Amino acid sequence: AQSVTQLDSHVSVSEGTPVLLRCNYSSSYSPSLFWYVQHPNKGLQLLLKYTSAATLVKGINGFEAEFKKSETSFHLTKPSAHMSDAAEYFCVVSDLVSSASKIIFGSGTRLSIRP
């Protein structure tokens, strides 16, 4: 069985400071992990994905995430927040074993950026 937990429903940081959005997962198999961003009234955009290659994954817009199997975590980070980063972020887990590829969304974290 798979699950994903986003530990913070809302994160607020000042512009120019680091961003940390936390995600923990559980999976019976080797999981694929994703971070998506959703801006207001917009579709979901893939930020980055982990698929059993390098544990540190670099994505778009300066975001990166590190897969830590021992901690079952896949936290999203960015060194310096920008106003345009304000959005909803979703951590997603799916497995590679099943052809049906069950996909589970986290509950989302709303990121606010203070000027």
Quote the CA–CA distance of 12 and 9 in Å, as a whole number.
10
What is the C-alpha to C-alpha distance for residues 49 and 28, in angstroms, rounded to an integer? 18
Nearer to another protein, 13 or 108 (CB): 108
Shortest separation between residue 27's beta carbon and another protein, angstroms: 13
Instruction: Kindly state the tokens that stand for 51.
Output: 């698929």
Helix, coil or strand: residue 113: strand
Contact stretch for another protein (CB under 8 A) within 13-21, 39-47, 63-71, 73-81? 39-47
Per rule CB under 8 A, is residue 36 in the interface with another protein? yes
Among 32, 64, 66, 72, binds another protein (CB under 8 A): 32
**Contact code string over 40-79 relative to another protein, x by CB under 8 A:** --xxxxx--x-x----------------------------
Spatial CB neighbours of 70, under 8 Å, sequence gap ≥ 6: none
For residues 87 and 115, what is the distance between their CA atoms, to the nearest angstrom? Answer: 15
- End-to-end, the C-alpha distance of the chain in Å comes to 41
Number of residues lying near another protein (CB under 8 A) = 22
Residues that bind another protein (CB under 8 A): 32, 34, 36, 42-46, 49, 51, 90, 92, 94, 96, 100-101, 103-108
